Amino acid sequence: MHKDKVFTLRMDEALFDRISTLAALHKRSVAKEIEFAVRRYVEQTTSRDGSSYANKNEFLAWAASVDKHLNEITALLVDIKCGKRPPTYNQWREANGLPPVEMGDVLFVKGDE
């Protein structure tokens, strides 16, 4: 039988608001969303034996990209929930510096050429 530990946590209000938004979207309590986020962080930043990963810079770059995508996804989900239309695929491609795709164009996945 596992035991739960109870503690008080202080955090930045903006971070709390982001977690609250995600918790509502995932239909979880804020406490469960924080527990989920902490568990994921620990699993992704440590190896199975509990030691930290050797290349911190590589991990930090990955974490920054995940945070960027989390912000984009959160904003998109909030917009959809508020009734705003999500961007079209070509609008998304344009925003990410990619050329638009015309009807009938074939997109190749790397390795499928």
The residue extents of the domains of the chain are 13-84
Distance between CA atoms of residues 3 and 14, nearest Å? 30
Distance between CA atoms of residues 17 and 10, nearest Å? 13
Nearest to 26 by CA among 86, 87, 92, 70: 70
CB 22 within 8 A of CB 12: no
**Amino acid identity for residue 38 in this structure:** V
Six-digit token string for 97:
């510096």
The single residue listed with the structure tokens 């959809």 is: 80
What pLDDT does 108 receive?
A: 53
What pLDDT does 88 receive?
A: 74
Which residues, 6+ apart, have CB-to-CB distance to 77 below 8 Å?
25
What pLDDT does 48 receive?
A: 58
What pLDDT does 113 receive?
A: 44
What pLDDT does 112 receive?
A: 44
What pLDDT does 11 receive?
A: 84
Distance between CA atoms of residues 4 and 64, nearest Å? 30
pTM check: above 0.75: no
Q: Is 5 helix (H, G, I), strand (E, B) or coil?
A: coil
Mean pLDDT, consecutive 10-residue stretches, the chain (113 aa), reads 79 87 87 86 67 66 79 78 75 80 60 46
